[in-house]
């Protein structure tokens, strides 16, 4: 697992905040009022082609949440590009400068062409923001549960015949259990070496016989995925109790004082 002392961008915190609101269903009311609407819906943010279905089957460091956030980011800046005309560069230059992306000044192109050029530079170099936002949000297990429940509603609409390599049945992703070391380490670190449900030690430093079980927060039988956003660690006892019966994320928390 990598560690960094680099400060996250304010843009990344903004993406994380709006993403959390979208997942929790509070974005429209907070930003536009009850009669508002979002720029795209989740079906447009997560289009389950073969590439994305593969992500639901085999855990990847580029998670479903990465795709979700980036597609909203793209949609928002495309809307901004189409609505702001000559002022669009004023929004984009600070971001490109922060990302250390070189760009040309407009000398010959129309403002529409130049804005499109800047827009493409931004969306092709914004992964730093998306990854930072992911690292902010992944700590929130309950938010990951809510995201996974939203994803499960899309998965349940997919037929096995569309992607027989990755679906066990209609609306059910095949189980993947050859967990990578980076994934196990990330989950253990997030849960601070303890069962996400009961809090018993799984680090091996206190209770050496307790086994780590990687649990699907939303069960595969209910449209869950093998994506890191849908995983937590449980002890054997809690894992057996939960089995396929619920889509609950563990509620164990560390209280400092």
What averages of pLDDT result for each successive group of 10 residues across the chain (257 residues)? 79 98 88 80 96 97 98 97 92 97 87 94 98 97 96 97 97 94 93 89 65 92 97 91 67 59
Query: Is 126 part of a structural domain of the chain?
Result: yes
Torsion of CA 93, 97, 99, 104, to 10 degrees: 70
Q: Three-state SS for 92?
A: helix
Q: What end-to-end distance do the CA atoms of the chain give, in Å?
A: 28
Q: Is the backbone of residue 111 left (phi > 0), alpha (psi -120 to 50) or beta?
A: alpha
What is the model's pLDDT at position 29? 78
What is the model's pLDDT at position 240? 85
231/236 Cα distance (integer angstroms) = 15
Q: What are φ and ψ of residue 67, in 5° steps?
A: -60, -45
Angle subtended at Cα 139 by Cα 219 and Cα 207, rounded to the nearest 5 degrees: 75
What is the model's pLDDT at position 250? 60
15/167 Cα distance (integer angstroms) = 32
Q: Three-state SS for 79?
A: helix
Query: Is 161 part of a structural domain of the chain?
Result: no
Task: Find all residues with CB under 8 Å of 151, minimum gap 6, and list them.
Answer: 46, 56, 64, 218, 223, 225, 227, 229, 230
Domain span at 37? 7-137
Query: Is 244 part of a structural domain of the chain?
Result: no
Query: Is 245 part of a structural domain of the chain?
Result: no
Count of domains for the chain = 1
Helix 64-84 vs helix 50-57: angle between axes, to the nearest 10 degrees?
Answer: 140
Helix 127-137 vs helix 10-24: angle between axes, to the nearest 10 degrees?
Answer: 60
Task: Find all residues with CB under 8 Å of 22, minimum gap 6, and list them.
Answer: 38, 72
Query: Is 103 part of a structural domain of the chain?
Result: yes
What is the model's pLDDT at position 138? 97
Could you tell me which of 129, 103, 94 has the C-alpha nearest to residue 6?
129
Q: Is this prediction's pTM over 0.95?
A: no
């Amino acid at each position: 697992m990598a560690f960094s002392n680099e400060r996250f961008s304010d843009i990344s915190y903004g993406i994380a905040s709006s993403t959390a609101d979208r997942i929790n269903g509070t974005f429209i009311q907070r930003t536009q009022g009850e009669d508002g609407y979002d720029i795209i819906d989740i079906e447009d943010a997560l289009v389950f082609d073969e590439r994305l279905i593969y992500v639901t089957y085999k855990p990847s460091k580029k998670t479903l949440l990465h795709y979700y956030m980036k597609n909203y980011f793209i949609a928002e800046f495309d809307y901004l590009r189409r609505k702001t005309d000559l002022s669009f560069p004023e929004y984009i230059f600070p971001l490109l400068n922060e990302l250390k992306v070189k760009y040309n000044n407009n000398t010959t192109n129309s403002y529409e062409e130049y804005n499109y050029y800047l827009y493409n530079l931004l969306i092709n170099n914004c992964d730093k923001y998306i990854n930072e936002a992911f690292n902010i949000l992944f700590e929130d297990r309950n938010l990951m549960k809510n995201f996974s429940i939203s994803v499960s509603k899309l998965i349940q609409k997919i037929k096995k015949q569309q992607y027989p390599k990755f679906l066990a049945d209609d609306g059910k992703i095949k189980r993947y259990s050859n967990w990578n070391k980076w994934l196990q380490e990330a989950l253990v670190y997030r849960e601070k070496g303890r069962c996400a449900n009961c809090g018993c030690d799984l680090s091996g430093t206190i209770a050496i016989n307790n086994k780590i079980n990687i649990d699907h927060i939303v069960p595969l039988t209910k449209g869950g995925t093998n994506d890191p956003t849908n995983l937590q660690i449980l002890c054997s006892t809690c894992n057996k109790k939960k089995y396929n019966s619920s889509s609950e994320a563990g509620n164990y928390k560390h209280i400092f004082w």
